[in-house]
């Protein structure tokens, strides 16, 4: 019984707080699905960077090696999830006559929820790089640009402080225009017209983005190369609000499983490749809700708890992968690349998960309380305890 209480308490401690009052377990399941390939890719890259004894053989060109290079698919899925989550309150307002959205509250919530963990970790990694002998003058310019989410726009490259933060800059760019986009997308009252306009808009945008080179590496670092994923998320929030996701069937399990596999093979910078890949992510998203088995699996508590901590995990996983690669550069378990990679990943994932749990409880979860700035101010003034 005590062990059961301990696990229950641990689960409560690691479960994220939803300020809007709505909790959708499949969304956290999708977050888990998105973070997983990102972790594998960055670990694989560090093994290839440092462990020359492991990769210097003829076994490296395997299917697992190929799959371990497709982590970007998880980032694009994150963008679609963000479009879905951010579009939800606006869809409720415009489509279902829900409560109006205060723009001040909308932007303040993004600021107080996401900014403190981001600043903390960027400052931590900046200090570590300086201690390790990095050029302070160069690092401080990259740090300043990164803190204001301008690094990709200024330097047209990943931040050396934490390279993965390019995607967070894209997210911020979308947040700025999300209310305007939502008004344009959801103000049409007839569902068939609204979805047709949205679908055609996505198709046209992919064509235009390809035509003007937005899908080239430099464009991928901005909202211009990723806007269609957020718009697809808007369409999904429309479908969710209007009840399309309620009915479930096993056929969606088959289709969703196929979409997962195909999404790893079809992406390319071509118009057709981008269109196919985007469609597959869109279908996968639907199937996670409408498939009986997929919905159950991605609502499993371990999956949703880890998915709910993905922001912290995303911020810390790459520096940990770098350190792991350095420490284990001569560590080989067996003379098979695939098995070695899997063993390394189990060890690495365990380390990342433990670190994530610690920093999630310490840094991120307190910021999930929408009233934490007021509570902190009251605490400073001595009015009440900050834990109330």
307-318 confidence digits (pLDDT tens): 999 999 999 999
**In sequence order, which residues have a C-beta less than 8 Å from that of residue 184 and are 6 or more positions away?**
none
Q: How confident is the model at residue 378 (pLDDT cuts 50, 70, 90)?
A: confident
Q: Which of 70, 84, 100, 144 is nearest to 289 (CA)?
A: 84
Identify whether the C-beta of residue 23 lies closer than 8 Å to the C-beta of residue 336: no
Three-state SS for 259?
helix
pLDDT in tens, 22-51: 789 999 999 999 999 999 999 999 988 887
What 8-state DSSP symbol labels residue 16? P
Q: Which of 267, 337, 343 is nearest to 65 (CA)?
A: 337
What 8-state DSSP symbol labels residue 62? S
For the record, the structure tokens of 1 come out as 């019984």
**Residue 387 in this model has a pLDDT that exceeds 60:** no
For the record, the structure tokens of 330 come out as 């001569």
Q: How confident is the model at residue 336 (pLDDT cuts 50, 70, 90)?
A: confident
Q: How would you class 199 by CB atoms within 10 Å of its CB: exposed for 0-12, middle for 13-18, buried for 19 or more? A: middle
**Residue 64 in this model has a pLDDT that exceeds 80:** no
Round to whole Å and give the CA distance between 248 and 290: 4
What 8-state DSSP symbol labels residue 363? I
Percentage of the chain modeled with pLDDT above 70: 94
Q: Which residues of 66-102 are buried (b: 16+ CB within 10 A; e: fewer)?
A: ebbebbebbbbbbbbbbbbbbbbbbbbbbbeeeeebe
pLDDT in tens, 142-160: 999 999 999 999 999 999 9
Q: Compute CA distances 96 → 88, 92, 93, 322, whole Å.
A: 11, 5, 6, 47
209: Cα within 13 Å, side-chain hemisphere = 28
Round to whole Å and give the CA distance between 74 and 212: 25
Identify whether the C-beta of residue 319 lies closer than 8 Å to the C-beta of residue 42: no
Identify whether the C-beta of residue 216 lies closer than 8 Å to the C-beta of residue 270: no
């Amino acid at each position: 019984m005590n062990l059961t209480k301990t696990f229950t308490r641990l689960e409560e401690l690691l479960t994220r707080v939803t300020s809007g009052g709505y909790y959708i377990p499949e969304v956290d399941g999708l977050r888990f699905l998105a973070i997983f390939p990102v972790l594998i890719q960055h670990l694989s890259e560090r093994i290839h960077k440092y462990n020359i004894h492991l990769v210097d053989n003829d076994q490296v060109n395997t299917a697992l090696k190929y799959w371990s290079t497709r982590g970007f698919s998880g980032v694009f899925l994150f963008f679609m999830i963000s479009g879905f989550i951010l579009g939800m309150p606006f869809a409720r307002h415009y489509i279902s006559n829900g409560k109006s959205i205060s723009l001040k509250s909308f932007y303040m919530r993004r600021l107080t929820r996401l900014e403190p963990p981001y600043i903390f970790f960027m400052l931590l990694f900046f200090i570590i790089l300086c201690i390790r002998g990095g050029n302070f003058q160069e690092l401080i310019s990259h740090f300043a640009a990164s803190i204001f989410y301008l690094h990709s726009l200024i330097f047209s490259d990943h931040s050396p402080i934490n390279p993965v933060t390019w995607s967070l800059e894209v997210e911020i760019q979308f947040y700025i225009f999300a209310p305007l986009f939502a008004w344009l997308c959801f103000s049409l009252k007839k569902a068939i017209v609204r979805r047709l306009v949205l679908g055609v808009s996505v198709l046209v945008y992919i064509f235009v983005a390809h035509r003007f080179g937005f899908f080239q590496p430099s464009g991928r670092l901005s909202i211009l190369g990723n806007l269609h994923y957020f718009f697809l998320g808007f369409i999904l929030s429309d479908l969710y609000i209007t009840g399309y996701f309620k009915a479930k069937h096993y056929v969606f399990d088959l289709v969703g499983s196929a979409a997962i596999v195909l999404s790893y093979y079809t992406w390319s910078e071509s118009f057709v490749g981008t269109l196919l890949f985007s469609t597959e992510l869109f279908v996968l998203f639907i199937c996670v809700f409408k498939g009986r088995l997929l919905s159950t699996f991605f609502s499993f508590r371990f999956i949703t708890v880890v998915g709910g901590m993905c922001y912290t995990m995303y911020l810390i996983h790459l520096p940990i992968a770098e350190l792991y690669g350095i420490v284990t550069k001569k560590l080989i378990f067996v003379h098979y690349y695939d098995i070695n990679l899997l063993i390394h990943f189990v060890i690495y994932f365990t380390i990342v998960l433990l670190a994530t749990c610690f920093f999630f409880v310490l840094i991120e979860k307190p910021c999930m309380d929408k009233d934490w700035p007021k509570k902190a101010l009251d605490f400073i003034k001595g009015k009440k305890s900050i834990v109330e």
